[in-house]
Structure 1
């Protein structure tokens, strides 16, 4: 299934129904008074967050969303029917921006969150509204008002407890497919992950952990290189980060340098993102001879950086092929997630 994390839409609320000018006409009533009813209000357009969607693809395809107009009033003081509102379902985690001003209107961060984005026009007044002691038979009535019409930009930031980061071919997709039921595309070439992939891992007998495999990071991502900001914004909602670094002898990059690139791009993009707790995951460690020395180089680089005041992190070796180190890694990640939840609730 294709993924889309941005969409531009137009929302048009319904026009209010017109008020009516009419007079009471009945047998034996020679001079019936005014009895024109009000028009009904136009329908509104609302955005509703649902966990059943994980992409803005369907939302963006329709582009224009309109609500129904209100019905005109009728004789005998009958009020016209209200126009039916339009409810547009979007994924949980969708941010709504005014396209003209660029301002954030709302963050639909929870299941069932609703946002009124275009209010229906008010129904017009019937002539019965204008009768008074001086003017007892007014002909005057008013038309319904137009509904709101606006353009919106939608931006999706996926929700996951743990985000997987790494340079291309670091082994993120293989790891996700091994510990969850997710089946991302896996191949021996860079950028097999072009869209976020989400899976749920079982931790122990009862706990679960939601993980997101995000597109491979490259040098300059913080400035928009590669998938740039589209990639990094998805990390903002993750509580814990796993930095996957290939320590096998066949890796393109030296492990220590690959790790430094990840750290540098996070820090350049956002200080808050850089300060998130993380585990440095040494991938493919048990699969090739010679990885032990490269693992030790990585550990030394992380230790030296921590001593110099950089963000501290633990290095944990795994093999997604043999399964070694996977259950321990998930337990460590779960512990960090719980600590972050407790910290957030206590603040």
Structure 2
């Protein structure tokens, strides 16, 4: 998937169906004198729903088709027969999608595969004239019109669902670590922004213990203000339970890099700092003795080597503990 094809925020125009009109009709049969009102109700207009689809990983399919209208309900019929309701319109979205109105209010949130959530209700069908008969008005000449549907510009925003978010500067070794921890095969290269879309991987540990980890594209200093491509993907960190910071031992000042990453998260949303976190130092075989005094002190630190497959089991175990998959880390 290219950067251009990974679409995680779109605006679409939706309109639910109008309700059908009730009708004015009177029963007319041979040998039946003044059969009375029997106008049927109109059908309800079609509603618009979002449905989670685990096979989707982007909102790309909304990029070129941004107008969606559900079917109208049909007019009522004689003999008190109701008009057909408009068919509901279902829009398939990736799991983790939020729908908002233009004021930013959340309309619904899709968290599970095949979950259906109402976005816009259809207009209610009008009542036929038989509803309005009484002892005074035995031949009502009135029926209700159907209510109009609702139209609204809706913002769809995708936030990837993962237990662990992998965070670091470009070229910190995140893609390589993801590839050895999971069966994912992200693009790997020795240059900045190798990863330009979030990647998901499934990490298996002992027995039935497992979790999902996402590789967030590299965050530069100033990402929260739009520098680089980090700003676009910071929203995906919001749903992570644990944040795994990865810093290369090639960095001369690991503490400084760690503070930059924390700063960018706090600028975007301060409550991101409330999440549990770990720090992994990659390429630890390159770390120098004098650098060990220049490390953060208020976070658990693990050293790993993706190339030599060192420290990976300790890292999995520590993450399982943070995720409360394991009761005891040891």
- Cross-structure match for 1:102: 104
- Cross-structure match for 2:263: 264
* Partners of 2:173 and 2:36 in 1: CA distance: 81
Secondary structure of 1:58's aligned partner: helix
Q: 1:338 aligns with which of 311, 324, 330?
A: 324
- Asked whether 1:24 is paired with 2:27, we answer yes
Distance 1:136 1:267, change over 3 A: closer
More helix by share: 1
Q: 1:292 aligns with which of 284, 287, 311?
A: 287
* Partners of 2:325 and 2:293 in 1: CA distance: 26
Q: 1:56 deviation in Å?
A: 1.8
Contact 2:254 2:295 in 1 (8 A): no
Distance 1:136 1:205, change over 3 A: closer
- Cross-structure match for 1:71: 74
Q: Deviations over 1:186-213 (max 9, x none)?
A: 1121001111100001112432121100
* Partners of 1:128 and 1:259 in 2: CA distance: 73
Contact 2:97 2:156 in 1 (8 A): yes
Secondary structure of 2:257's aligned partner: helix
Structure 1, unpaired ranges of 5+: 307-311, 343-347
* Partners of 2:310 and 2:233 in 1: CA distance: 29
- Cross-structure match for 1:309: none
- Asked whether 1:326 is paired with 2:312, we answer yes
- Asked whether 1:55 is paired with 2:48, we answer no
* Partners of 2:272 and 2:44 in 1: CA distance: 46
Length-normalised TM-score, structure 1: 0.86
Q: 1:10 aligns with which of 13, 17, 29?
A: 13
Secondary structure of 2:202's aligned partner: strand
- Structure 1 segments of 4+ aligned residues over 6 angstroms from their partners: 339-342
Q: 2:154 aligns with which of 152, 155, 160?
A: 152
* Partners of 2:125 and 2:98 in 1: CA distance: 31
Contact 1:19 1:142 in 2 (8 A): yes
Secondary structure of 1:338's aligned partner: coil
Structure 2, unpaired ranges of 5+: none
Structure 1 stretch displaced more, 271-280 or 146-155: 271-280
- Asked whether 1:131 is paired with 2:117, we answer no
- Cross-structure match for 1:241: 243
* Partners of 1:134 and 1:329 in 2: CA distance: 81
Q: 1:215 aligns with which of 208, 214, 217?
A: 217
Contact 2:53 2:113 in 1 (8 A): yes
Secondary structure of 2:320's aligned partner: helix
